[in-house]
Structure 1
Amino acid sequence: MLRPRLRIPRASSFAIPARSSMAQLPLAYRSFHNVPVLENIPEKEGEDGYKYRSIEGFLSPMAFTTAWDYYQTHVLTNLNRLCAETNNDGLPLKDVVLATARDPSQAATFNYASMAHNNHFFFKTLSPTPTNAEEMPAQLKEALVRSFGSLDALRELMVNTATAMFGPGFVWLVRTDRPQAKGFRVLTTYLSGSPYPGAHWRRQSLNTSTDIGESTEQGIQAGKQYLENSVRGAGKSAASYKKEDFAPGGVLLEPVLCLNTWEHAWLFEYGFGGSPKSVLDAAQSNVSENTKSGKEMYAEKWWEYVDWNVVDRLAFPEGRKAKQ
């Protein structure tokens, strides 16, 4: 199979760099939210002199550029437009998410802010080279084994959860801080849903198209609850709520790792099924039939490139280690 030489596009009509948006957008507002620098993934220089990022063995230059540079620029450019001359203009992304989660009139702002935050969270926990989960910091390993039984069990849970999601979203590893159940859990958020307790009204932890039928008693109650929460949040600022005023079932938790299941993160590199295209091109005649979906292969590869040192710092920040 012939394959054209891969080149990183120099420009795109749908990806105006958020960091330079002031040059293209009206002077009526400034660009506060910029595409952050991924210090964990160093830049490389191609033969043509242009710099790019990739994770060899996981995300090719084009796949990485699409999922990070293009997509992050897209959501942040739209977020800057919506936040212009509002109280959200000078807030960090996480604060924008929490400030808009309960206000239906700011749904678009929430969606772009939450997507930008979640996508960055996914990329900042990646390693540019393969890692070994068995060699993660001892404190983190002990805590995860205590919560899930083994690291293999955690891997299987996250990979299978991601594969089973019928729709885009994120699979999160979170640390819970309930007195009766301290430890780690795996949860999902669909679309742009946020894992943070202060935004649990908009967490979207299930696919309501399939998980709850509208004619069932559970579905009816869920619908009523959603409407009540929406009305309660309409027209009210985040300042009018207490931090502990979470949605029903909400618990204190802190995300420490996430797996992005949006198609733009895996489809280019892995396709809908079978082996990665790079493998097919390199040795098509030697590739046996593979019944795994592209998303499953992507999720399995992702586990091999998690930066567990970053996860450890997020799970046990300064001031909390002494409490363990």
Structure 2
Amino acid sequence: MLRPRLRIPRASPFALPARSSSAAQLLPLAYRSYHSIPVLENIPEKESEDGTKYRSIDGFLSPMAFTTAWDYYQTHVLTNLNRLCAETNNESLPLKDVVLATARDPAQAATFNYASAAHNNHFFFKTLSPTPTRAQDMPPQLKDALVKSFGSLDALKELMVNTATSMFGPGFVWLVRSDRPREPGAFRVLTTYLSGSPYPGAHWRKQNVNAATDFGESSERGLQAGKQYLENNVKGAGWNASAYKKDDFAPGGVLLEPVLCLNTWEHAWLFEYGFGGSPKSVLEQVKGGEVAVAENQKSGKEVYAETWWGYVDWNVVERLAFPGGKRQ
């Protein structure tokens, strides 16, 4: 496992700070925008001997790994998002609404990517605990619901860790609450790649007409096809979840709400855990100074995902899963 020397990170020469309430007037006009780096109240700041402020999660993310995955990356995506949103309607929208409003507009693909990346990365960090946690100690209501959906907490852990390890490319692994007509309050695991969003309204596409032949016709059929196409592209953008109906989703689509997120982008784990990770069996010293190499090694991503499971703030997950306080 790659374990670089612990050091307190200094300001990156590659990161232009995104706007914060205290520094708004110091930035050029083009960067004075609504979207700023949120305060991670769940991860308190620490102070080094020389007075430098930093954040870390001992046993999971070192100061440099934390700063890279949060401060530097979040600054990068929000700075670019603010540049694209300046003097547009997206400037004053919350991140989730920007994601929903731009997901189906090819002209705003870059805006969607930066907004979704910032939203997903924040979701990952806001569900972390600064100290180790035990899944067995999660609130009973959440525990019962997860066991009902997955059979056991160990099965859920294995599913999320294996899913993250198997992803051949960066993205996110999500635990979502999925409200099916005959299975309300069920939980599922899904993946999104790159800056993809877990929200149905962000990737919803429904086109039950032949665009190659129907559009452009001056007949009643053609006019109706064009009208329906426009209506389908408007639905879902910025809508509340309660406004969705069954027909507003693509075939197989269901209403869901994310409650937990595991970041599998390389910048979140590579610095701390490396590619190789650690062997699944203990290496034994052999006579002559040679070392027996284990045949089956864990990757750095797998070690990272397994370690993450022990730092999930399950109280936050429960509040996201049951915002009303009670299971519906």
Within the candidate set 303, 315, 324, 2:321 is matched to: 315
Are residues 1:249 and 2:252 paired? yes
2-side partners of 1:33 and 1:54: how far apart?
Answer: 24
Kept in 2, the 8 Å contact 1:102–1:233? The answer is: no
* Residue 197 (structure 2) pairs with residue 194 (structure 1): yes
Q: Distance in 1 between matches of 2:233 and 2:298?
A: 47
The one-character-per-residue Cα deviations of 1:245-274 (angstroms, maximum 9, x if unpaired) are 233322111000010000010000000013
Residues in 1 aligned to 2:291 and 2:67: alpha-carbon distance in whole angstroms: 29
* Structure 2 residue aligned with 1:111: 113
Q: TM-score, normalised by structure 2?
A: 0.80
Match of 1:96 in 2: 98
CA distance in 1 between counterparts of 2:111 and 2:103 reads 9
Shift of 1:200: 2.3
Query: Cα offset for 1:180?
Result: 1.6
Equivalents in 2 of 1:90, 1:265: separation in Å?
Answer: 29
**Residue aligning to 1:8:** 9
> Structure 2: how far apart are the matches of 1:233 and 1:18?
36
Alignment match, 1:143: 145
Identical aligned residues as a percent: 74
Q: Which moved more, 1:16-25 or 1:190-199?
A: 16-25
Q: What is the root-mean-square deviation of aligned Cα atoms in Å? A: 2.9
Q: How do 1:157-306 and structure 2 match up within 5 A?
A: 157-182=159-184, 183-201=186-204, 232=229, 238=237, 243-244=244-245, 245-275=248-278, 291-306=297-312
Which stretches in structure 2 are left out of the alignment for 5+ residues?
206-211, 213-224, 280-289
Structure 1 segments, 4+ long, off by >4 Å, are 1-5, 231-237, 239-242, 285-290
> What is the alpha-carbon distance in structure 2 between the residues aligned to residue 143 and residue 2 of structure 1?
37
In the TM superposition, what whole-angstrom CA distance separates every residue of 1:168-200 from its partner, at most 9, and x where no partner exists? 000000001111233000000000000011112
What is the aligned residue count?
Answer: 287
* Residue correspondence of structure 1 range 110-129 to structure 2 within 5 A: 110-129=112-131
Per the alignment, residue 45 of structure 1 pairs with 47
Please give the alpha-carbon distance, in whole angstroms, between the structure 2 residues aligned to 1:142 and 1:240.
31
Structure 2 CA distance for aligned equivalents of residues 239 and 44 of structure 1: 38
Q: Is the 8 A contact 1:102 1:234 kept in 2?
A: no
TM-score relative to the length of structure 1: 0.81
Q: Per the alignment, do residues 29 and 48 of structure 1 end up closer, same or farther by CA in structure 2, a change over 3 Å counting?
A: closer
Shift of 1:288: 7.6
Q: Is the 8 A contact 1:169 1:260 kept in 2?
A: yes
Instruction: Spell out, residue by residue over 1:19-58, the C-alpha distance to the aligned partner (whole angstroms, 9 max, x if none).
Output: 2465333x25622100000000000001110100000000
Tell me, what secondary structure is at the counterpart of 1:259? strand
1:64-107 C-alpha deviation (Å, 9 max, x unpaired)? 00000000010000000000111100000000000011111110
Q: 1:58 to 1:4 in 2, by over 3 A?
A: closer
Q: Which residue of 2 aligns with 1:205?
A: none
Q: Which residue of 1 aligns with 2:219?
A: none
Q: Which moved more, 1:249-258 or 1:119-128?
A: 249-258
Secondary structure at the aligned position of 2:89 is classed as: coil
The code of the aligned residue for 1:156 comes to E
Q: Unpaired segments of 5 or more residues in structure 1? A: 203-223, 277-284
Q: Does the 8 A contact of 2:19 with 2:35 survive in 1?
A: yes
The offset of 1:275, in angstroms, is 3.7
Q: 1:184 to 1:113 in 2, by over 3 A?
A: same
Q: How far apart, CA to CA, are the structure 2 residues paired with 1:198 and 1:63?
A: 33
> If you compute each CA radius of gyration, which structure gives the higher value, 1 or 2?
2
- For the residue of structure 2 that corresponds to 1:172, the secondary structure is strand
CA contact (8 A) 2:3 2:272 kept: no
- Residue 219 of structure 1 corresponds to none
Q: Which residue of 1 aligns with 2:67?
A: 65
Contact in 2 for aligned 1:169/1:262 (Cα 8 Å): yes
Q: CA deviation at 1:240?
A: 9.7
